[in-house]
Amino acid sequence: MSGRTILVWFRNDLRTHDNEVLVRALENGNRIVPVYCVDPSQFGITEYGNRKTGVLRTAFILRNVEALKNQFRKVGGDLLIGFGKPQDILPELCQSLGVDEVYHHREVAFEETQESSEVEAALWQQKINLRHFIGHTLYHKEDLPFPVRDIPDNFAQFRKKTERESQVRPQFEKPKQLKFRADLPETSIPALAELGFSADEIQLVENLELQGGEELAFKKLTNFLNRTDRIETEIQVSAYVSCGALSPNTLYHALIDAAQDDPGSKKLWEQQLTKLMWRDYYRFMFKKHGNLFFKPEGLMDKAPEVSTDADLAFENWKNGNTGEPLVDEAMQQLNQRGIISDQQRQFTASYLVHVLKGNWLAGAAWFEEKLLDYNPCSNYGNWAHIAGVGSSAKENKPLDLQKLVALL
């Protein structure tokens, strides 16, 4: 493999541990070119009037990008930062740096898969292959007991058969040595103002406690396993998993080990494993059903009822001005810090859909902007179930708000 240069396109996998893309690139080439693309279109305004990616989530992602860049620099390499669309940036870098192949982790949501397709088409104009890897789920697609098209929509059936007939693969070891192309150009991470954020928005970043990098992600994981401020650290760990500074596979094995070391904590860790299974389920449902999760009617024949004053209700809901203290407290926390618990998410979403009769897609888009641990599959998949139009019929029902109140 002498002389081969492989470009590693980082997206939601900002880590060196348990990263098959990085491992295979180092196996198959004698030098790598790591790249992360900052696409300005990801920070624009949606059809619902909010930002696609809010300032808190943007700042958190960029902190993790910066941490990975510094990590590579310490060992004589770098992470190149491209400012623009990947389908424009990556082919240009391949041509200027003599890249032989591009590796990346495959995504499943509509926009992300479309982006990959456009990158693949642009690269093929130069006869350069885009090689896909699967690294965002516990269970590898090839290890499932059914092809994607036959995955049961029912979550309980999916989980039971998958856990019975499949196994979670071992983690990939962190590379002992990273081999970079020596003449990488100087690049820098764009400032928040360059991405269109106002001074008032940028001031919110002062509320962002979480720093970036897989080293800090492991520290938060340790705190969570030690049950230090459990709900808070659970959300923080989820944020690192979302941007890829922590592997879901690593989290899974850590939970298994913790349950074995402390039998008294078994119930707690089983709850976390259930959440990871839901995360897998949503990703596979997006692979199976595609863009249906972004339609008002979802996977059903009819969209849920929306009231005539839904716009006003939504404004009050998103700003924490509904008059319902639990909803308002959660929404204000979301807007200021970018984190709320699972129970708060269920309660606030149910309140918008079933009490205020608001547009569930607008609510999902607001969460997309604000949540530090946002990922499209879990977010829109969960909102679809709350709205009664999701993929697992058993979960397509209004939640008992009184029971949720007891959990808050």
How many angstroms separate the CA atoms of 88 and 111, rounded?
16
Note the pLDDT of residue 211.
95
Closest among 173, 171, 175, 140 to 249, alpha carbons compared: 171
Is the pLDDT at 74 greater than 80, yes or no? Answer: yes
Average pLDDT, the chain: 93
Q: Is the C-alpha dihedral spanning 135, 379, 396, 293 positive or negative?
A: negative
CATH fold of 140-169+215-288: 1.25.40
Token couple for 210: 């979480």
Is the pLDDT at 2 greater than 60, yes or no? Answer: no
For 1-135, the fitting CATH number among 3.40.50.300, 3.30.1330.50, 3.40.50.620, 3.20.20.10 is 3.40.50.620
* Torsion angle defined by CA atoms of residues 331, 332, 334 and 335, in that order, rounded to the nearest 10 degrees: 120
pLDDT digits (tens, 9 = 90+) for 360-398: 999 999 999 999 999 999 999 999 999 999 999 999 887
Q: What is the DSSP string of 339-390?
A: ---HHHHHHHHHIIIIIS---HHHHHHHHHHH-TT--HHHHHHHHHHHTT-S
Q: Where are the domains of the chain?
A: 1-135, 140-169+215-288, 295-407
CA distances from 253 to 54, 138, 219, 230 (A): 32, 10, 16, 18
For residues 246-264, average pLDDT: 89
User: Which residues touch 260 (CB under 8 Å, ≥6 apart)?
Assistant: none
Angle between helix 376-386 and helix 266-289 axes, rounded to 10 deg: 90
pLDDT digits (tens, 9 = 90+) for 292-346: 999 999 999 999 999 999 999 999 999 999 999 999 999 999 999 999 999 999 9
What are the b/e assignments for 341-379, b being 16+ CB within 10 Å? bbbbbbbbbbbbbbebebbbbbbbbbbbbbbbbbbbbbb
Note the pLDDT of residue 408.
63
At residue 78's C-alpha, the angle toward residues 75 and 79, to 5°, is: 135
Token couple for 274: 């259930």
How many angstroms separate the CA atoms of 303 and 401, rounded?
21
**What is the model's pTM?**
0.95
Is the pLDDT at 403 greater than 90, yes or no? Answer: no
In 207-340, the DSSP E strands lie at: none
For residues 147 and 230, the model is more confident at 147
CATH of domain 295-407: 1.10.579.10
How many angstroms separate the CA atoms of 269 and 190, rounded?
39
For residues 49-65, average pLDDT: 97
Percent of the chain with pLDDT over 70: 98
Can you tell me which residue has the tokens 């849920």? 304
